[in-house]
Chains A and B, each alone.
Chain A
């Protein structure tokens, strides 16, 4: 309401136009991917002469795409699980104690998400192969992904702790609950939506990671992004890749929507609303 008073009509119109342009630039190519997945022409001639479900059938039966999808899901689930446990523990550990270097530890936990993927990837490849002498496998991908997935959980949990303070847990202990009971009945329920939001982001981060994965995957472990990248320029696979991309566009909208709703409803969640 008050914005209407402050901004002139002309300015409002130009802001609206800018917003529209930005949205068009972002979403038209995505829409193109969706439409092309039904394009009968396998070189994606525009406009599509006719529509077909052939590529969808082909993609559905593509063993390579299925394997890659399953690999990606396994990696993302494992990395998210590790991130949930370690991220929560780290946030809890840094919450009460005021030790020397507390901020340094906090920074070290958050840093991996800002590091360029190529640096992280190289470092892990060196670390695993040269220093530790470990064969690259699914687990090396999981560990590498977990380093930056932890950040999303850590940040979400820490923010929740900061907002809630400690008096709820003190109240629980005051009423006779031990430390574990307090965690089970008070701390965990308090963190639930923060954990879910952190986990969704973490899953998404791991799922579409390609740079770090390239360096930490063995030659026979293919995650979906790597499979897409490798098949993109094979003419007979391109339509299938397009279908997979279309599926991913739709599939990734769901967790983002959920994560947004969860963090948007935290204000209500805090006061106990559902």
Chain B
């Protein structure tokens, strides 16, 4: 697969702040690529550098084979969907969508046809003559998308485009965006701070922290094999076992994480091989509808979060466990080692 975007040694400093710090990145053609991270992690700056709204302090940006590092935004074959949509308020929906073609001197008939097509892609047929202020947030979002897609760019950049929508609409749009991306086959580079959103839509995800990529992986890898405590904590929730606690509970040196849903609460320590367990006291039980989360303080020191689906156990039984002594148990191969000094001792090696 060829490369849509290559970034080499890219840095952007704002005064003393290194917003982007010596970044290397390759995004494949036709990929749905997400940049995930907390605010201030540099993900949006990378997007703005690719779009041409910021000039890098150092490094190069290649679109396909072309070096676009010093080119202004209007001379790059990328389009952006802005966080605030940036719909032109003085133009109709059609004029907004046709804008890119109009400034590129595409003929009127062709312009109109392609605008209709783009509006159909985002399911906004019949809205061409509306004014932007007559549209809902979700519809404006679609106009912004159509306005970018109509130009058939090599790459579409999306800057937290779903951030302003309510949860219900956001979930719908996530699935729809993914469908649209498959349909048009354009590379999508998607910036978000919402890990669930990134996991739902992406082919690959780059997790950003302090201007650098902490881990670049597929959603499954990212969730099951987080490379660092930061990734483990940012993508989903997790329990961190390290130092003395790791030695006591696991019999191994190093730092390990395990997801709350991989832990179980039982009354007696199981004896089957490959299972570990630790006694503790339930401190808190939180009912979340589909699942229940229990916070258990282990006798060995650390506090862990245990999550289980509310399939058959009644919530009353779970709630009664508060302040009760329980045994937390998990499979050894569900532990994920975070850069263990001795790979042979890493529990994840057992399953490999």
Contact = CB atoms under 8 A, between A and B. Distances in A.
Nearest to A274: B131
Range for the number of chain B residues in contact with chain A: 20 to 34
A99 B86 CA distance: 27
A172 B99 contact: yes
A170 B133 contact: no
A270 B86 contact: no
Given A271-B133, A272-B132, A273-B131, A175 B147 contact: yes
A175 B79 contact: yes
Given A174-B51, A176-B104, A271 B89 contact: yes
A194 B80 CA distance: 28
Contacts of A174: 51-53, 73-74, 78-80
Interface string A160-188: 00000101101111111110010001100
A270 B133 CA distance: 9
Contact of B73 (A173, A269, A270, A272): A173
Nearest to B76: A174
B84 interface: yes
A13 B91 CA distance: 48
A272 B74 contact: no
Contacts of A212: none
Given A175-B99, A176-B151, A272 B133 contact: yes
Nearest to A184: B103
Contact of A190 (B53, B78, B90, B104): B90
Given A167-B86, A170-B82, A175 B100 contact: yes
A167 B88 contact: no
A48 interface: no
Interface in B153-172: none
B99 A173 contact: no
Given A170-B53, A185-B103, A270-B89, A176 B74 contact: yes
Given A176-B104, A177-B74, A271-B133, A168 B88 contact: yes
B233 interface: no
B243 interface: no
Interface in B129-157: 131-133, 147-148, 151
Contacts of A272: 89-91, 131-133
Contacts of A176: 74, 100, 103-104, 151
B151 A175 contact: yes
Given A167-B82, A168-B86, 17 more contacts: A167-B86, A168-B88, A168-B89, A171-B82, A172-B99, A173-B52, A173-B73, A174-B74, A174-B80, A175-B79, A176-B104, A176-B151, A185-B103, A186-B88, A271-B132, A272-B132, A273-B131
21 contacts: A167-B82, A168-B86, A168-B89, A170-B53, A170-B86, A171-B88, A171-B147, A172-B103, A173-B73, A174-B51, A175-B151, A176-B100, A176-B151, A177-B74, A177-B99, A178-B103, A181-B103, A190-B89, A268-B133, A269-B89, A271-B89
In the complex, the 8 A-B pairs of residues with the closest C-beta atoms, listed nearest first? A271-B133, A272-B89, A175-B100, A171-B86, A177-B103, A167-B86, A173-B73, A272-B133
